[in-house]
């Protein structure tokens, strides 16, 4: 009893598979007309590889939603093509077929139409404007070679950024303080206000290039040199800046 049920289930599955499985295309060589490839009503969801010497192609009434880019390019001798009766989905993937139809207008016997999306349903594929594909990437930039090159460039960029960060962390900055600058005032470490800048410019014009005179700030106390080692230690540990006295 159990074996009979299993056999019945296998027969039902085989029957259903016979209706859903794609059929093979039929090829016939009609000299001197050339090679005819008939794939019509074969339940195809994708076109197989076609012979380069195909002169007549019938793929109507299938389940094609798009055509792989470059599939028809090698069919230089194609004189007739039937593509109607397929539920083509008109998005970026249909751009290749649309461009091919525009270049081979005399080859297509009946203009295939869009089945979806609803905004362009029942519209001829050749009537889709360039603006319709404005958001699509260029066809020559969608190949595997382009993706490989862009991936390699991105990896190089990431490595360069990481190397720059590591170099910046290990870099050492050395500031040299000359002996003639050992007596600079504490106020010189602060940003000068505009009136102080004018006073400094006036002093520079009246003195030599190596000597600065602050006439109004002489009464200010000199920088507390006892704090200088602590400042230098903080600069070295936190910012990797070394100050060298010469």
Q: What's the chain's average pLDDT?
A: 74
Q: What are phi and psi of 26, to 5 degrees?
A: -105, 130
Q: Model confidence over 102-143: pLDDT tens digits?
A: 999 899 888 999 999 999 999 999 999 999 999 887 655 455
Question: Does 23 score more than 70 pLDDT?
Answer: no
Neighbours of 170 (CB within 10 A): 8
Report how far residue 246's alpha carbon sits from residue 244's, in angstroms, rounded to the nearest whole number: 6
What string of DSSP letters covers 18-60?
HHHSPPPPEEEEETTTEEEEE-TTS--SS-----TTEEEEE--
Neighbours of 75 (CB within 10 A): 20
Neighbours of 86 (CB within 10 A): 20
Write down all domains in the chain, each with its CATH number in brackets: 11-136 (3.80.10.10), 172-245 (no CATH)
pLDDT at 110: 87
pTM exceeds cut of 0.85 = no
Question: Does 85 score more than 70 pLDDT?
Answer: yes
């Amino acid at each position: 009893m159990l074996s009979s049920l299993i056999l019945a289930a296998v027969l039902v599955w085989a029957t259903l598979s016979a209706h859903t499985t794609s059929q093979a295309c039929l090829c016939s060589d009609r000299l001197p007309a050339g090679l005819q490839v008939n794939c019509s009503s074969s339940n195809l969801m994708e076109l197989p590889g076609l012979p380069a010497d195909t002169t007549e192609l019938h793929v109507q009434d299938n389940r094609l939603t798009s055509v792989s880019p470059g599939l028809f390019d090698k069919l230089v001798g194609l004189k007739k093509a039937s593509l109607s009766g397929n539920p083509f989905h008109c998005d970026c993937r249909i751009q290749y077929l649309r461009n091919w139809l525009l270049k081979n207008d005399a080859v297509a016997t009946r203009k295939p139409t869009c089945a979806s999306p609803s905004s362009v349903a029942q519209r001829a594929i050749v009537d889709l404007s360039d603006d319709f594909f404005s958001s699509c990437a260029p066809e020559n930039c969608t190949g595997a070679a382009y993706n490989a090159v862009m991936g390699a460039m991105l990896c190089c960029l990431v490595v360069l950024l990481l190397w720059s960060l590591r170099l910046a962390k290990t870099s050492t900055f050395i500031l040299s303080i000359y002996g003639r600058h050992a007596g600079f005032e504490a106020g010189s470490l602060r940003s000068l206000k505009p009136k102080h800048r004018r006073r400094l410019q006036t002093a520079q014009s009246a003195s030599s290039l190596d000597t600065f005179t602050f006439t109004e700030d002489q009464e200010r106390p000199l920088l507390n040199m006892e704090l200088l080692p602590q400042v230098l230690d903080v600069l070295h540990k936190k910012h990797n800046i070394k100050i060298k006295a010469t």
